[in-house]
Amino acid sequence: MAVTRRLTVSELIELSSGVSRNGKPWTLHKVIAVDEGGEQIGETLLTFAALPLNEPVTVEVERRDDPRHGLSYTLKLPRAGSALAGRVDELEQRVAAIEARLGSPVREVAA
Amino acid type, 48: F
pLDDT of residue 37: 93
Q: Is residue 66 part of a domain?
A: yes
Range of the domain at 42: 3-79
Query: Dmax over Cα atoms in the chain, in whole Å?
Result: 59
pLDDT of residue 94: 80
Amino acid type, 12: L
Domain count for the chain, please give it. 1
Q: Is residue 26 part of a domain?
A: yes
pLDDT of residue 98: 82
pLDDT of residue 101: 81
Q: Measured between alpha carbons, how far is 44 from 31 in angstroms, rounded to an integer? A: 8
To the question of pTM greater than 0.85 for the whole model, the response is no
Q: Is residue 15 part of a domain?
A: yes
Q: Is residue 104 part of a domain?
A: no
Helices (H), the chain: 82-102
DSSP label of 85: H
Question: For 63-94, how does the pLDDT look when each residue is reduced to its tens digit (9 = 90+)?
Answer: 999 998 899 999 999 876 555 555 666 677 78
More confident residue, 111 or 31: 31
